[in-house]
Each structure stands twice: as C-alpha cells, then as structure tokens.
Copies of this chain bind each other. A is one copy, B any other.
Amino acid sequence: MDKVKRMPNRSYGQFCGLARALDTVGDRWNLLIVRELLPGPQRYNELKASLSGIATNLLAARLRDLEANRIVERRLADAGVSYALTPWGAGLREPIEALINWSAPLMITGRGDDSFQPRWLATALPALLRDVTADPTVELGIQVGDFLMTLRIDQTGPSVVIQPEQHPETILMAPPEAVLGLAAGALTTDQALTIGEMQGDREVLLTVFPSRRSNAAAALASALNSI
C-alpha cells in the first residue's frame, strides 16, 4: 500500500531554462492571466470576465501561484484588490509576443465562435507589427469596442499607444476579426477596408482622414505583407 513517494508539485525536474519557465508559468491559464495584465492592472472580476470560462477557484489558485512566484503582486485599490505584474512578470511580454507572432497562421481561419476582448489587441498589434518600417508616416486611431489606441508607423518602426487622446477624423472602427485578420495577413488592406465598409449595420465604420487614406493603405499593406 505504501507506494513510491509522490512529487508534491509536478515539476519537470530538468536543469533547463525552458523547463523551469514552464514549471513556473506553464500551467493552464497562467500565461493568459499575464497577457490580461500586460496593458495594466486588473481586478479579480475583470480577469474572470475577460477569461471567459475560467473556473473561479482556478483563477484564485493561479493568482496565488503567480503571486508566490513573484510574477504578480496584489495591490490594495480603492474598494477592492488590484492585480498587477511585477517587473519580472512584465518580462513575459517578449515570450508572449513571440508566441503571438508564431501563431499568425492559426489566426487566418478567422474568429469563428471564439470570444474576443479589445484589450488583447494592445498586446497583439505591437507584436505583429514589430520590426516593420513604412515609408510615409502614418497614424491611425483604432477603436474596437470601447478600447482606444493609436497605431503609428514611421521610420523608427510601428508603435501602438493605448488610450491616446482621440483623433476623431482618423478613427478606424472595425470588428475584431477584420483587424486581427488584417494583422495576421489574412486579408489585404483593401479587403479589410471593404469589410469594414460593407457591414455598417454591425457598427463597423471606416473613416480614415481622406488625405492620408492612400498612405495609410499602402503603409499598412506593406507592413502587413512582410509579417
């Protein structure tokens, strides 16, 4: 009846950086929680809502583990608790961005029945557009849901700023499948624009400032084709 002693925690037991990284953040939901916290701190119920489907006991357990491993820290916000990444935890941005870039072929099938949060674009777009240079300087405001950001492409490369001051004349409102499909290279810029213009009943509206429109389309096309 007394079998061999069981390992208390299921570690790979390998002296390898990858194995130890996965020992720490390899459990289910862990990296998705980190992704959720990359744009900024979140409350427990915000995390629970964004990670649709996570069991509440699992979310609590994962947050406890991540806190014990110094990846996440609890902060006392007004009227509640707020979860934020430590500097080391925020260092997971690079691996996460690398996984997002690698996964581009998995995104061209479109959204399907999957859930979507505009917040995810704040991590995905900078990753997908990294190391891309465009000839003319382009600045687009992107609004998906109630999430505002500015996509800027210039000689120094592309950058995405979250929650910028609004530029109403250059706001691109698009459904997530159009934006991410475009970002993944699934659609040409023209197709994406067409989709945006065709589905007006879904509150999809494209209003790039006219004098910049061709520049924006060309820059986006060249940027996205090189992904």
What residues make up the interface of A, taking CB atoms closer than 8 Å to B? 12-24, 26, 28, 31-32, 35, 52-53, 88, 91-92, 94-107, 111-117, 120, 123-124, 127-128, 176-177, 180, 184
Contacts and interface: CB of A to CB of B under 8 A. Distances in A.
A102 B94 contact: yes
A162 B91 CA distance: 29
Q: Is the interface of A mostly helix, strand, loop or mixed?
A: helix
Number of copies: 2
Nearest to A181: B15
A180 B120 CA distance: 35
B98 A98 contact: yes
A21 B99 contact: yes
29 contacts: A12-B53, A13-B53, A14-B52, A14-B117, A14-B120, A15-B111, A15-B114, A15-B115, A15-B116, A16-B114, A16-B120, A17-B99, A17-B103, A17-B107, A17-B124, A18-B96, A18-B120, A19-B32, A20-B107, A22-B32, A22-B99, A23-B106, A26-B28, A26-B31, A88-B102, A94-B98, A94-B101, A95-B102, A97-B98
Contacts of A16: 35, 100, 114, 116-117, 120, 124
